[in-house]
Amino acid sequence: MSKKKYIREGAESAGTAGTDPAIASLSYEDAMAQLEALVERIEQGEVGLEESLVSYRRGEQLLRHLKGLLDRAETTVRDLSLAELERGGDRAGDREAGRGSDRADQF
């Protein structure tokens, strides 16, 4: 199974059980790097059955953490976009459109 497929499927099936505090403190990039390394070791057959199960559980925790980080980022972007619209953020686009028509009038 490819890394991306494993990551995608794991993210969809990740539960809500507790996450190791060491994982919870990881940045998105660090958590992703750990997950990719873990998956690579499993795919290459470098771990036995017991270690594979432990690694799988850790992978699930990493996936939950990554999904949580992405969900929070998405919420932040959505909130910022809505706040910009509420403040009249479209005015900048209107000014750009107006400048374009002014130039056309000059010719």
Tell me the domain boundaries of the chain. 3-106
Sequence-distant (6+) residues with CB within 8 A of 88 are none
pLDDT tens string for the chain (107 positions)? Answer: 444 444 444 433 334 456 799 999 999 999 999 999 999 998 898 889 899 899 999 999 999 999 999 999 999 999 999 998 888 865 555 555 555 444 444 44
Distances (CA, A) of 11 to 1, 5, 35, 89: 15, 10, 12, 34
The tokens describing 55, both together, are 């690694």
pLDDT number for residue 11? 39
Q: Which pLDDT does position 106 carry in this prediction?
A: 47
Q: What pLDDT, in 10s, does the model give residues 42-55?
A: 889 888 989 989 99
Residue 77 sits at φ, ψ, to 5 deg, of: -65, -45
Q: What is the pLDDT of residue 50?
A: 92
